Amino acid sequence: MIADENAAREWVRALPGVDDAAMARLELLVELLIDENSRQNLVSAASLESVWVRHIVDSAQLLAYAPEVLPGPWLDLGTGAGFPGLVIAALRPQAEVLMVESRARRIAWLERARLAMGLDRAQVIGLRLEMVETRPVSVISARAFAPLDKLLGLSARFSTAHTRWLLPKGQSAGQELSQLRKWQHMFHVEQSLTDPQAGIVVGTLAGMTKR
Ligand SMILES: C[S@@+](CC[C@H](N)C(=O)[O-])C[C@H]1O[C@@H](n2cnc3c(N)ncnc32)[C@H](O)[C@@H]1O
């Protein structure tokens, strides 16, 4: 487990390919988030005391399960406060990170943060997911977006047999997976680095018959 904010920063800095510019983008994100959180309720105020553990590493740890080379976009569902989408884009600025968010104030926040962080390849899609045009993507991520069965139902149309799904699910990961009616055997749970009780549902829909 990552114990504190210093350990969290050091853990991110040691990730492959992370340089001073990437760390500066994340420091800026934290600064902007703290400021914006005084105007709109993006994350709980308490979580800002350990923002690097609770939000930055919690997002960045997904990279361990993502392909190194992304032939297509990384689609993040319900990016809201920016997690994990903005963190992934900060650490992989060459990746095409698509952040779907439906609430107007959050769309505006994401766009301001994206521009300030210089994330030219990332895109905020300010729509309900149901309205987003179908296209194949390399990764689908979603933190605190919807229960697993609903999430899969809403977004399977973006998945190919190679799309990697990375779904931080907190303490409910195992239970949500065990209750899944369809595609259960295509996923497993990885331990989160930020909370001993939390898991990340990881998998692909390889061999699925219906999109
Ligand atoms: C609980 S928040 C989580 C935000 C962020 N992923 C995080 O972990 O901090 C869920 C976000 O999903 C957005 N959302 C919910 N349903 C949506 C939909 N159908 N399409 C797009 N965004 C949606 C909400 O507006 C909200 O910002």
Q: Is residue 211 part of a domain?
A: no
Distance from Cα 79 to the centre of ligand 1, integer Å: 6
Distance CA 89, CA 56 (A): 12
Domain count of the chain?
1
Residue 152 lies in a domain: yes
Model pTM score: 0.96
If we measure between CA atoms, which residue out of 84, 83, 77, 168 comes closest to residue 130? 77
- Helices 20-37, 5-13: axis angle to 10 degrees equals 140
ipTM of the complex: 0.99
Nearest CA to ligand 1 atom 27: 80
Q: What is the pLDDT along the chain (211 residues), one digit of tens a residue?
A: 998 999 999 999 999 999 999 999 999 999 999 999 999 999 999 999 999 999 999 999 999 999 999 999 999 999 999 999 999 999 999 999 999 999 999 999 999 999 999 999 999 999 999 999 999 999 999 999 999 999 999 999 999 999 999 999 999 999 999 999 888 889 999 999 999 999 999 999 986 654 4
Give domain status of residue 210, yes or no. no
Phi, psi for residue 158 in degrees, rounded to 5: -90, -5
Detail the residues annotated as belonging to a binding site: 78, 83, 129-130, 143
Distance in angstroms (rounded) separating the CA atoms of residues 152 and 132? 15
User: Can you give the CATH number for the domain in which 25 is found?
Assistant: 3.40.50.150
Which structural domain range is residue 181 located in? 5-203
Note whether residue 130 is domain-resident: yes
Pocket test for ligand 1, best of 106, 107, 145, 166 (most atoms within 8 A of CB): 145
* 160 within domain boundaries: yes
